[in-house]
Copies of this chain bind each other. A is one copy, B any other.
Amino acid sequence: MSRITVEDCHKLVEAEYPLAVYFGFRTEELGEGRARVRMAYSPKLLRYGGTVSGPALMAIADFAMYLVVLTLYDYDAAVRAVTTNLNVNFLRPPGRHDIVAEARVQKGGRRLCFIEVTVFSDGDDRPVAHCTGAYALPAEGG
């Protein structure tokens, strides 16, 4: 079971994460160790060539990873977790559609949480990007 609700995520984003508001991230589904996030298509996301820019795809992937952490750990620790490493492969140019990121935990350790994210252009089941990374949980008493 997730330790956080979709509604809590919306509140956290509005209060604490202006970039997520700008990108229009919408948490669609949360479960223990998994999250699905949508970013509505908008011309403001494009880069040269009319495709959704790499940084927008990385931003939604990182956000989906953060949600996975929030589903797994005590809220006070999870909310302070920080990305230590993120690796992205860009597989195909996304079309002019919504972007959907599906994240799932690979290993939820005491100090590091490893997460995998597959990013889709809505309506196409071939991924546009694949991302792996790690969040570090705050040191106990830290």
Which A residues are closer than 8 A to B by beta carbons?
12, 16-19, 22, 43-49, 51, 53-56, 58-59, 62-63, 79-80, 82-93, 106-107, 110-112, 114, 116, 126-127, 130, 132, 134, 136, 139
In the bound assembly, the distance between CA atoms of A63 and B12 in angstroms comes to 28
Q: Which of B48, B92, B107 makes the CB contact (< 8 A) with A80?
A: B48
The reply to whether B19 and A44 form a contact with Cβ atoms under 8 Å apart is yes
A92 CB contacts on chain B under 8 angstroms:
107
Q: Which of B16, B62, B89 makes the CB contact (< 8 A) with A114?
A: B89
Q: List 29 A-B contacts (CB under 8 A).
A: A16-B46, A17-B46, A17-B47, A17-B53, A19-B55, A48-B80, A49-B82, A54-B83, A55-B55, A55-B58, A55-B62, A58-B58, A58-B86, A59-B59, A82-B90, A82-B93, A83-B90, A85-B85, A85-B89, A86-B88, A86-B90, A87-B132, A91-B106, A91-B107, A92-B107, A110-B139, A111-B136, A114-B130, A130-B132
The reply to whether B86 and A54 form a contact with Cβ atoms under 8 Å apart is yes
Give this chain's copy count: 4
In the bound assembly, the distance between CA atoms of A44 and B18 in angstroms comes to 5
A54 CB contacts on chain B under 8 angstroms:
62, 82-83, 86
The reply to whether B136 and A80 form a contact with Cβ atoms under 8 Å apart is no
In the bound assembly, the distance between CA atoms of A43 and B43 in angstroms comes to 24
